[in-house]
């Protein structure tokens, strides 16, 4: 089974040059056209055409685990909850399943653990001596409406406390005003602090009314030096969807064609089933190619998703579905 499901045999893991950003270029975001029906038809047909079954599905789901930003962003978060989440991050599959697939105990890990600023220390302590980084939501998450000075200081403190990745949220009011340069300057100021830290810019697509503006916001964040663009905070009424993700990954493709920089994509919010994770992986494979199917360039922000993946993998081994309480997150 290991020869069939060995993750590295299915997807390349290319290292990519860091996105240093470019000067603000209005011509890249003017005269944008979008066809809502065509975008929705593309994502719908993609799901119908691609059907991954049996051992190939197991291989893709094992790969999906390595793309997860295992996340807890609830009002009742506590150090003990984060510590349990970190234990799950280090042991995403039960040991009997790991053995059945022919892997060693620590051979499969999630990509990162994402927490609030105040819980970075608890996460870092539990992830010490692992290769799993701590990601912190910052910059006035989730609204992004705190004073800029406050948001910059919060990012600095998150890095000082041990965060290796920062998920910032942009001030969406600038989108509604059409002030694209303000978004550029905002993200650029965050990038200056995150010189050696992975910066993920949250577009919060559920708050943006048009595909054109989603594309523009994505492009501007990349111009300013974002290492990833991310769909949602998870707090909007509508979070990640395949149509908005298609718009964002095509912005990534266009930016790569123009600059040669590979920017990552993170889908977050409402992704809770194995089928969802496969749909997003297929989207990335078809639109950006295998080079993006690795944790350096693609992430899925979720928590309960891991339980469903583990459940599906157990079904592949045993032929039976188990209850969710046998695959708890904490």
CB proximity list for 198: less than 8 A, separation 6 or greater: 133, 135, 164, 165, 166, 227, 228
Which is catalytic among the residues 200, 230, 262, 308? 230
Q: Measuring CA to CA, which residue among 203, 306, 327 is closest to residue 263?
A: 203
Please pick, among 63, 164, 200, 266, the residue that the annotation labels catalytic.
Answer: 266
Q: Which residue, chain included where needed, has tokens 């996460």?
A: 123
Tokens of 273: 């089933």
Which of 63, 69, 167, 198 does the annotation list as catalytic?
167
**Is residue 54 annotated as part of the catalytic site, yes or no?**
no
Q: Which of 301, 278, 305, 174 is nearest to 229 (CA)?
A: 301
Residue 167 annotated as catalytic: yes
Phi, psi of 322 (to 5 degrees): -100, 165
Extract the tokens encoding 233: 């905070």
Q: How is residue 101 written in tokens?
A: 């697939």
Q: Give CA separation, 127 vs 54, 139, 163, 300, in Å.
A: 33, 24, 11, 19
Distance CA 234, CA 206 (A): 9
Active site residue 230: yes
Residue 209 has φ and ψ, to the nearest 5°, of: -85, -20
Positions annotated as catalytic residues are 167, 230, 266
């Amino acid at each position: 089974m290991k020869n069939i499901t060995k993750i590295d045999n299915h997807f390349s893991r290319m290292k990519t040059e860091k996105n240093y950003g470019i000067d603000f270029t209005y011509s890249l975001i003017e005269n944008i056209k979008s066809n809502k029906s065509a975008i929705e038809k593309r994502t719908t047909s993609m799901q119908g055409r691609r059907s991954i079954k049996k051992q190939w599905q197991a291989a893709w789901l094992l790969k999906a685990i390595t793309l997860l930003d295992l996340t807890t962003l609830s009002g009742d978060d506590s150090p003990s909850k984060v510590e349990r989440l970190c234990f799950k991050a280090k042991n995403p599959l039960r040991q009997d399943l790991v053995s059945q697939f022919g892997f060693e105990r620590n051979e499969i890990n999630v990509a990162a653990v994402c927490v609030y600023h105040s819980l970075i220390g608890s996460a870092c302590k539990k992830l010490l001596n692992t290769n799993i980084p701590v990601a912190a939501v910052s910059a006035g998450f989730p609204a992004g409406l705190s004073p800029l000075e406050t948001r910059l200081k919060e990012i600095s403190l998150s890095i000082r406390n041990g965060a290796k990745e920062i998920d910032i949220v942009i001030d969406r009011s600038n989108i509604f005003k059409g002030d694209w340069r303000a978004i550029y300057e905002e993200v650029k100021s965050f990038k200056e602090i995150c010189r050696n830290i992975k910066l993920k810019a949250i577009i919060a697509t559920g708050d943006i009314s048009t595909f054109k503006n989603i594309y523009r916001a994505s492009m501007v964040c990349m111009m300013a030096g974002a290492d990833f663009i991310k769909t949602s905070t998870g707090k909007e009424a509508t979070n990640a969807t395949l149509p908005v993700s298609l718009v964002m990954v095509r912005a990534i493709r266009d930016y790569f064609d123009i600059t040669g920089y590979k920017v990552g994509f993170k889908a977050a919010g409402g992704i809770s089933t194995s089928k969802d994770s496969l749909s997003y992986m297929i989207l990335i494979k078809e639109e950006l190619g295998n080079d993006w199917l690795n944790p350096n360039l693609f992430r899925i922000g979720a928590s309960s998703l891991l339980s469903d993946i583990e459940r599906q993998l157990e079904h592949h081994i045993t032929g039976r579905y188990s209850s969710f309480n046998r695959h708890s997150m904490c």
